[in-house]
Amino acid sequence: MNELLTLTGLGLFSMIAEIFNFRKAIFPVIVLGLLGLLGLCYMDWGSYNSTVTHFSMMKVDNFSIAFTSVLTATALFWFMMSRSFFEDQTSMSDHFSLVLFALTGAFCLTSFTNITMLFLGVEVLSLPVYVLTGSRKRDVASNEASFKYFLMGSFASAVFLFGTAFIYGATGSFNLENIATYLSTQPQLSPLFLVGLLLMLSAMAFKVGAAPFHFWTPDVYEGAPTIVTAFMSTIVKTAAVAAFFRLFYLSFSGIHGEYADIIWAMAALTMVVGNVIAAAQNNVKRILAYSSVGHAGFMLITILVMNDFAAKSLLYYTAAYSAAGIAAFLVLYLVGSANNGETPLNAFDGLVKRNPIMAGTMTMALLSMAGIPPLAGFFAKYFIFVSAVENGYIGLVVIAILSSLVGVYYYFKIIIAMFFGKPDNLPTYFLTPIHRFLLLFVAAIIVLTGLFPDFVMGLMTI
Amino acid sequence: MILLQSLNSSRDFLPILLMFIVAAGFVSFVMVVTQWLGPKHKSKVKADSFECGIEQIGNARSPFSIKYFLVAILFVLFDVEVIFMYPWAVNFKSLGAIGMFEMFTFIAFLLIGFFYILKKGALKWD
């Protein structure tokens, strides 16, 4: 509850701050507020595990606290990274308040116990992101991305509601606990329920960006301003996957056999499609967009396995992926803003000579995403594979390993360009202190979470 | 309450089918009867589109000022949000002090939004 109030209050503050000429105060207040939110998470951690609040709408348990911490830390990095981008624009406070409201939605998505709250969270998260995607008003690509995302997203929301209606019709409840009880007492599942389950599964897969519902991802990620893409591929993805996991963990885990094959196929398809198509791209932004589709596939494996260890490894995976994503997109943004917003592969040629910090952190982030030990991404994949093998999904793990090998290929394409490309007529970069600090800090996080994986995993113990 | 367990025989859907037949029947009946009974006078004035009784000028597809859309959207927004107050008012007594506090919070959010709109100049016409 306190977390929700803090986020909403921050959002409202930054919305009206510009009117009262507090423009200078917005950024420090947001940073302090988010730090305070992390403090609240720390205090709440482990303290109330089973209290369902708000008329059985929300439960702030360790799952939600752990994911909220990851989201808040990512948001903190995101604000540090995007300050310079939005300061040039007239409506900085609008953008910041939209992001904070999206975070409020993300918090709802990690702590719901009721489908109503899940839907509210999805909408509160998505609507600001639709607007943010189109925040370069004069850019046709940005407008197109925003419009596409809005149309597809509202369609997915409609499918979600349709599924909810079917499930309500079958079980008579929106409450996840009641649905789980209904499922455990029912000898024969009503076909109505299965239709609802399938519709909800599709809608959540859309929000996560899993194949075959991934078609919006590359276009929207490419068209949106790079800063917003960073937000979408880290925070929105983490929140959506956490919600997906929580929904299935709390209510549908009793009938795991009914949908396991679908998620198996979806995860395999997502990993293969994301990684193979990414290998064929020449634009770094599109490579990262398709790779984020591939990462969604790895995250889906945890929903297939569905036990406590899977929840822990999902947390670790999202944390590792968010850190790497923030670093990679920050470098991408810096490279793109010196190059008219274009990010072809040859814009990275010889980056190591032009700015070693940027090239070093980018290499770190890409190696982590590729899953090279001892970086965070390696253990993230390792834990997911272990949990999958323990539950007998060896075939899926083979597919996952093969597709992450394809991933190594295209991540190294960027790294090779950075280290061995010839930097003819390309600008050198001068980092602002805040960006330099952020790059070094995130690189340190990627290494440290790789060296001490137990710390992040331990956040989840109940 | 489990809705669909009692609805497993097709007999239970008979009222719905009847409703469909009545609805479709009424529509087609009225349409046929008006065609049949009504007098027919065809003239240019009659075929014109009705615009507040004023003679129409030019094409209907002319660009409108974006301000109309803004005002319309804002109107819909606040209008819809006021709807939330009806169920609240009906349950006012049973919700008690918490319900009142919740509604005050809601109205405070609404007012902050309204204030934001005013200060951003969304309702300024010039």
A230-241 pLDDT, tens digit each: 999 999 999 999
Chain A residues in contact with B112 by the CB 8 A cut-off are 12, 15-16
Distance from CA of A192 to the nearest CA of B (A): 9
Q: Is the pLDDT of residue A44 over 90?
A: no
Task: Choose among B4, B115, B120: nearest Cβ to A169.
Answer: B4
Asked if B119's CB is within 8 angstroms of A192's CB, the reply is: no
Would you call A16 and B119 a contact, using CB atoms and an 8 Å cutoff? yes
- The whole-angstrom separation of Cα A408 and Cα A278 is 11
Query: For domain B12-39+64-120, which CATH number applies: 3.40.190.10, 3.40.50.720, 1.20.58.1610, 3.30.1540.20?
Result: 1.20.58.1610
Query: What is the nearest CA distance from B9 to chain A, expressed in angstroms?
Result: 14
Q: Higher confidence at residue A169 or residue A50?
A: A169
CA dist., res. B87 & res. A17, Å (int): 33
Torsion of CA A84, A87, A89, A92, to 10 degrees: 120
Chain A residue numbers with beta carbons less than 8 Å from the beta carbon of B77 are none
Question: Averaged over A95-112, what is the pLDDT?
Answer: 93
Q: Which chain B residues contact residue A172 at CB under 8 A?
A: 1-3
| Residue from the list A12, A16, A170 with its beta carbon closest to the beta carbon of B4 | A170
CA–CA distance, A287 with A164 (Å, rounded to integer): 35
Convert A247-265 into a string of H (helix), E (strand) and C (coil): HHHHHHHHHHHHHHHHHHH
Closest residue in B to A15 (Cα) is: B116
Instruction: Using alpha carbons, list the distances in angstroms from residue A92 to A20, A86, A99, A141.
Output: 14, 5, 11, 21
The one-character DSSP state at B12 is G
Whether residues A15 and B120 touch (CB distance < 8 A) is answered with no
Kindly report the number of other CB atoms within 10 A of residue A224's CB atom.
28
Which pTM value belongs to this model?
Answer: 0.88
The phi and psi torsions of A305 (rounded to 5 degrees) equal -70, -50
Find residue A344's DSSP bridge partners. Answer: A283
Whether the predicted pLDDT of A424 surpasses 90: no
The verdict on B16 touching A (C-beta cutoff 8 Å) is no
Taking alpha carbons only, the member of A377, A206, A379, A384 closest to residue A303 is A384
CB neighbour list of residue A338: distance below 8 Å, 6 or more residues apart: A427, A429
Give B4's contacts in chain A (Cβ within 8 Å): 169-170, 190, 192
Residues of A in contact with B109 (CB under 8 A): 12
ipTM for the assembly? 0.73
For chain B, the distance separating the N- and C-terminal CA atoms, rounded to the nearest angstrom, is 56
The predicted structure's pLDDT at residue B1:
42
CB contact under 8 A, A15 and B112: yes
Q: Using CB atoms, pick whichever of B2, B3, B112 lies closest to residue A16.
A: B112
- Weakest-pLDDT range from A48-57, A384-393, B28-37, B88-97: A48-57
List the structure tokens of A214.
Answer: 């991934």
Q: What pLDDT was estimated at residue B9? A: 57
The owner of tokens 């690189």 is A443
The region, left, alpha or beta by phi > 0 then psi within -120 to 50, assigned to residue A220 is alpha
Distance, CA of A211 to chain centre = 16
The pairing of beta strand A52-53 with beta strand A58-59 = antiparallel
Q: Are A192 and B112 in contact (CB < 8 Å)?
A: no
A12, A19, A192: residue with CB nearest B4: A192
DSSP string for A177-188: HHHHHHHHH-SS
Q: Which residues pair with A175 in a beta bridge?
A: A114
The continuous run of DSSP H or E covering A58 comes out as: strand A58-59
- Does B115 contact A at CB distance below 8 Å? yes
Q: What is the pLDDT of residue A418?
A: 92
Most B CBs within 10 A among A7, A19, A186, hence the mutation to make, goes to: A19
In one letter, which amino acid is A282? N
Residue A15 is nearest to which of B1, B4, B116, comparing CB atoms? B116
Report the distance separating Cα A312 and Cα A389, nearest Å.
16
Helices A92-111 and A237-247, packing angle to 10 deg: 20
Half-sphere exposure of A191 (CA within 13 A, CB side): 1
User: What is the mean predicted confidence (pLDDT) over A37-43?
Assistant: 88
Q: How far apart are CA A174 and CA A58, in angstroms?
A: 12
Q: What is the pLDDT of residue A48?
A: 57
- The reply to whether residue A16 touches residue B3, judged by beta carbons under 8 angstroms, is no
pLDDT exceeds cutoff 70 at B5: no
Helices A256-279, A191-208: inter-axial angle, 10-degree rounding: 30
Contact assessment for residue A452 and residue A101, using Cβ atoms and an 8 Å cutoff:
no
The residue of A12, A186, A194 whose CB has the most chain B CBs within 10 angstroms, and thus the best one to mutate to test that interface, is A12
d(CA A266, CA A251): 20
Predicted confidence (pLDDT) at residue B51 exceeds the cutoff of 80? no
How far, in Å, are A112, A119, A369 from residue A57 at the CA level?
Answer: 6, 11, 35
Taking phi over 0 as left and psi of -120 to 50 as alpha, with beta for the rest, A337 belongs to alpha
Which of A24, A233, A227 has its CA nearest to residue A136?
Answer: A227
Q: Quote the CA–CA distance of A197 and A192 in Å, as a whole number.
A: 9
Residue boundaries of the structural domains of chain A:
2-458
Give Cβ neighbours of residue A148 (< 8 Å, ≥ 6 apart).
Answer: A216, A219, A220, A223
- Summarised one tens digit per residue, pLDDT across range A123-171 is 999 999 999 998 888 889 999 999 999 999 999 999 999 999 999 989 9
Closest CA to A416 of A348, A356, A365: A348
- Inter-chain CB proximity B119 and A190 less than 8 Å: no
Best residue in B95, B102, B106, B116 for a mutation probing chain A (most A CBs within 10 Å): B116
Report chain B residues whose CB lies below 8 A from the CB of A170: 4
Residue B38 distance to chain A (closest CA, Å):
43
A12, A15, A190: residue with CB nearest B4: A190
pLDDT in tens, B7-21: 555 667 788 899 999
Integer Cα distance of A8 and A120 in angstroms: 14
